[in-house]
Chain A
Amino acid sequence: MNASGTLGYSNEIESLWKIETLGAYVTKGLSLQPHHGNPTPRIWDERHGMINSIGLQNMGLDRFFSEHFPFFRKKKTPIIINFFGFTEEEYMAFAAKVKPDRLIVALEMNLSCPNIKAGGISFGKDPQMVFEIVKKVKAVTQIPLIAKLTPEVKNIVDIGRAAFEAGADGLTLINTMPAAIVEMKKKRVAIKGGLSGPVLKPIALRAVHECSKAVPIPIIGVGGIMNADDVISFILAGASAVQIGSATFVDPYTIPKAILGIGVYLDKNGYGGIQEITGITHE
């Protein structure tokens, strides 16, 4: 699947490849109310990755459902709805509003947002806060719930465990890493935002490896995947599925190419499916 926010709202990629290619489509981060997002610059190249500061721009849940959901219905492509909020109530109200539908295979909670009622600390940084919000959201929805975790924490295993104990059905590891760019010539900070791309891959691999040993729920690996070999590495580390994000900007065919490459790897090595190699690095 794609990583949230890297494949438009719905059909943008269709001039190059069919959306049905994906195992599931992950929506752009959605919220109850629309968000305008940040002024530019929103993007910066960073040698082995990039920084983005889109500011969670989105049209809101209602418009997404009226304007874009019919596309997935027509295509019969399963979707995962990524969402965020700034209070527990916003997360709960969002989750409660999404009606179960066989096409909506999961809700993916972005836990990197600041909790404005707790002094602005990210929900995802504190195990207790993660436990509480996951438990509350889980209580208001029948749809499987995935917690997407920030890597900017003391111990991601503690966070993953808290999400699991609160009832999360899966984890997505990891979100972008907070980062900044300094422009030497202009003597200023050019951008602050989330770092993604290959620079993040080893950090994500470690998070996937450790959390998959600690919790018995499926893990979606994401961070710096550029090709099928990277996908296989994440599966070996313990991921049951992966998401591809920034790589699509470098080569818009990355996802279909990786899918083909995974098949070639499995065939060549005599495996019947990725489940046979998920987490085999644990021994």
Chain B
Amino acid sequence: MDDFEAKIIENRNIVSNYFLMELKLSKPMGMIRPGQFIMLKVRDGDIFLRRPFSIYDFSKGTITIVYRVVGKGTLTLSEAGKNEKTLVLGPLGNGFSITKRDAYIVITGGIGVAGVHLLIKSLKNKACVFYGCSSKEELRVIDDIARFNPAVATLDGSEGFKGDVVTLFRKQKKALEGKNVEVFTCGPESMIKSVRKEIENIKTPCQVLVEERMACGLGLCFGCAVKTIDEKEPYKRACKEGPVFDLWQISL
């Protein structure tokens, strides 16, 4: 892990407010695990703190992130041009841990796919992917994993199942009964709550990648607190103890 000088080699609008940015690093980052993240310096000016982004993909000496413009930081980032220089601190946090299972279920929605994309790629065809978004247009965000045949749900029904992704998952989960499965999830809190409800009675193992505002990304400031069921010390650091947590250990 280190702070790398980086150059933006691509920063393109995928669809609506989703962007993909590829960065060339001054040297390779070293070993990266699915679920890890970076702290990215956003152009000087109105932005003080760096911003955390899941590592969407990487190759030798490059890092890709996929982000959605939600505030001033990501808006400024979306305006960054090719060849602009920046800094990338990473890889940070604990990624997903993969143990031998009969099946791996990935449930994600919206920009949450940025957190599980590497995981899906590394599980190859063994991952059973459920993705939810608002409309057909937004599905372009997952073009890259279309080859894994994700089951898709759109809120407006313009493609795939009409409704939310957890309802779609419910319709298919019967097939998993009695199997040794693990669920991986990343997305809006409401989705994670529904996932939890869905698998509560069978307590399926589930790893969740959480998103939280961060200042340092290194465990220094305790800003990115995630509430857990640990009574002695309920708040854990998303950047240090996470960002991947056991769903049954966090309180939602």
Q: Which residues of A contact B (CB under 8 A)?
A: 5-8, 12-13, 15-16, 28, 34, 36-50, 52, 54, 57, 59, 197, 246, 248-253
B2–A16 touching, CB < 8 Å: yes
Counting chain B CB atoms within 10 Å of each CB, which of A16, A40, A52 scores highest?
A40
Q: In the complex, what distance in Å separates the CA atom of A7 from the CA atom of B222?
A: 10
Q: In the complex, what distance in Å separates the CA atom of A15 from the CA atom of B90?
A: 11
Given that A36-B234, A41-B213 are known contacts, is A47 also in contact with B48, CB under 8 Å in the complex? yes
Q: How many A-B residue pairs have CB under 8 A?
A: 98
Chain B binding surface SS class: loop
A249–B225 touching, CB < 8 Å: no
A42–B213 touching, CB < 8 Å: yes
Name the distance in Å between A194's Cβ and chain B's nearest Cβ.
12
A248–B235 touching, CB < 8 Å: no
Residues of B within 8 A of A44 (CB): 213
Q: CB-CB contacts of B1-45 with A at 8 A, as 1s and 0s?
A: 111000000000000000000000000000000000000010000
Chain A binding surface SS class: loop
Interface assignment of B60: CB less than 8 Å from any CB of chain A? no
Q: Which residue of B lies closest to A199 (CB)?
A: B48
Q: In the complex, what distance in Å separates the CA atom of A72 from the CA atom of B16?
A: 51
Given that A37-B235, A49-B48, A249-B216 are known contacts, is A42 also in contact with B225, CB under 8 Å in the complex? yes
A8–B218 touching, CB < 8 Å: yes
Q: Which of B28-86 contact A (CB under 8 A)?
A: 41, 46-50, 72-73
B213–A5 touching, CB < 8 Å: no
B215–A249 touching, CB < 8 Å: yes
B232–A34 touching, CB < 8 Å: yes
B223–A52 touching, CB < 8 Å: yes
Interface assignment of B121: CB less than 8 Å from any CB of chain A? no
